[in-house]
Amino acid sequence: MDAQLLSERSEIRLSLYNTSLVSHSSASPEPGFRFNITRNVTPMNDKLPLIFDGHNDVLLRMSRAGEAGSVEAFTKGRNGAIDLPKSQAGGFGGGFFAIYIPSVPGDIDRFDAMNEASYDLPLPDPVEFPQATKIAQIQASILIRLQEIGALEICTSSRQIADCFERGVLAAIMHIEGAEAIDEDFHALDLFHSAGLRSVGPVWSRPNCFGHGVPFRFPSDGDIGPGLTGKGIELVRRCNELKILLDLSHLNEAGFWDVAKHSTAPLVATHSNVHKLCASSRNLTDNQLSAIAESDGMVGVNFAVAFLRSDGQKNVKTSLDLVLKHLDHLIDLVGEDRVGFGSDYDGADVPVDISTAAELPNLRTAMRSHGYDEALMDKLCHKNWLRVLEKTWGA
């Protein structure tokens, strides 16, 4: 059924309701993200195909703003890259909503160094489980609250995501970026899984009990330090048992190959780019990309300018041509069925022309001008994500 539904995307025109669908009363807002779908009209609508995205940091931003106010702001419009009005304006169908544990205050200041010709940011200090799990619970609660008010739906199957597209509901995957909030006995993993968790990145760019990430270093590859620990290998196996997707983004190269050795699932990097085009330690070498292709996995192109640009700079005046260059290289190397987007919205500096979800029509226009046909547009925008999710999670 999913394939039939998705094959109709190029025959569908998206007509968006006015944001007045969202209640402005003091009561819980009414669901605001609804598509009015009609058939047999031009496929060249700039809000189609819907874009399903491999990574955002909305929950971190909302947790810092305070749960009650931020939930309401998500439905009416918030100071950030993703909310319901912006999703409506840009044809953003949903994606991976990351639960991310920030490092100690002040670490964010280190990222200013990424405007230098070369840089090597020191790894942040580890975050202990008691602190991490409390923060993770807050962010998970925000996502659940957004579902309760009808702003989105937490999805645990590719069929459910496709159904959300048909019903005009924002589709969300609960994702943990950096497994500090998971204990070594995996009790917390089981609890988060029961709440809808279906994707885990074992590390962010700092060490934890499961493994080692890459520092933000340019120019550099990811061959930096040891990979997974023994507990990290156990985490891989437990995620395989629970059919939780394992995200390779932020793992160093040794950790990448450890996952490739021990995992039975497709290899997926939800928000990473091409090292040959941008020599950041965060990006993937052609050898890594070939391994992803051999596993029938997936790469989501990251919009972060520091991972797009050949000079590694955080300059938002970056052409969308660079996004297309990374797409082209990935299509050539891993195949057109294994490439999508992983924007890093609300977590990175991105090109000004796609600064929020509302500007995503600019990306579709650039893709069409570049020569991508509608079948390829469908794959890159969402079908490839649904394919790899079905292969990882099951039907």
Give me the helix-helix angle, 129-148 and 58-65, nearest 10°.
Answer: 90
The predicted pLDDT at position 35 comes to: 38
Residue 105's pLDDT is 62
Kindly state the average pLDDT of the residues 320-333. Answer: 98
Radius of gyration of the chain (CA): 19
Q: Is the model's pLDDT at 110 over the cut of 80?
A: no
Terminal CA-CA length for the chain: 11
What's residue 112's pLDDT?
79
Q: Is 154 left (phi over 0), alpha (psi -120 to 50) or beta?
A: beta
Please state, rounded to an integer, the average pLDDT across all residues of the chain.
89
Residue range 247-273: mean pLDDT, rounded: 98
What is the Cα–Cα distance from 259 to 347, expressed in whole angstroms?
Answer: 25
Look at residue 257 in the predicted model and tell me its pLDDT: 98
Mean predicted confidence (pLDDT) in 276-285: 98
Q: What pLDDT score was predicted for residue 109?
A: 52
Q: Contact 313/115 with Cβ under 8 angstroms?
A: yes
Residue 359 confidence class, pLDDT cut points 50, 70, 90: very high
Residue 4 — very low, low, confident or very high, per pLDDT cuts 50/70/90? very low
Cis peptide before 219 (omega within 30 of 0): yes
- Output the pLDDT for position 48: 95
Kindly give the pairing relationship between strand 153-154 and strand 171-177.
parallel
pLDDT reported for residue 147: 98
Worst-scoring range by mean pLDDT, 3-12, 315-324, 335-344? 3-12
| Token pair 């195949």 in the structure block, residue | 335
Please give the Cα distance from 113 to 15 (Å, whole number). Answer: 43
Percentage with pLDDT > 90 across the chain:
82
The strand pairing partners of 51, in sequence order, are 92
> What are the CA-CA distances from residue 22 to residues 30, 154, 276 (Å)?
5, 20, 45
Query: For 95, phi and psi rounded to 5 degrees?
Result: 165, -165
pLDDT in tens, 194-233: 999 999 999 999 999 999 999 999 999 999 999 999 999 9
Query: For residues 101 and 181, is the Cβ–Cβ distance under 8 A?
Result: yes
> What is the domain-level CATH number for residue 342?
3.20.20.140
Residue 44 structural domain: 2-393
Q: What is the pLDDT of residues 120-133, one digit of tens each?
A: 998 888 999 999 99
Is pLDDT at 364 greater than 80 in this prediction? yes
User: Token digits for 144?
Assistant: 């659940």
Report residue 19's pLDDT band, with 50, 70 and 90 as the boundaries: very low
**Which structure tokens are listed for 278?**
């941008």
Instruction: State residue 185's pLDDT score.
Output: 98
**Do residues 127 and 207 lie in contact, with contact meaning Cβ atoms separated by under 8 Å?**
no
3-class state of residue 115 by DSSP: helix
Sign of CA dihedral 175, 177, 182, 185: positive
Q: How far apart are CA 261 and CA 263, in angstroms?
A: 6
What are phi and psi for residue 9, nearest 5 degrees?
-60, -40
> In sequence order, what are the beta bridge partners of 56?
97, 345
Cα–Cα distance, 307 to 314 (Å, whole number)? 9
Could you tell me where the beta strands, DSSP code E, fall in 40-196? 51-56, 92-100, 119-120, 153-154, 171-177
Percent of the chain clearing pLDDT 70 (strictly above): 87
Q: pLDDT for 146-175, tens place per residue?
A: 999 999 999 999 999 999 999 999 999 999
Count how many domains the chain has: 1
pLDDT for residue 395: 72
Check: CB of residue 314 under 8 Å from CB of residue 115: yes
Structure token digits, residue 395 = 């039907």
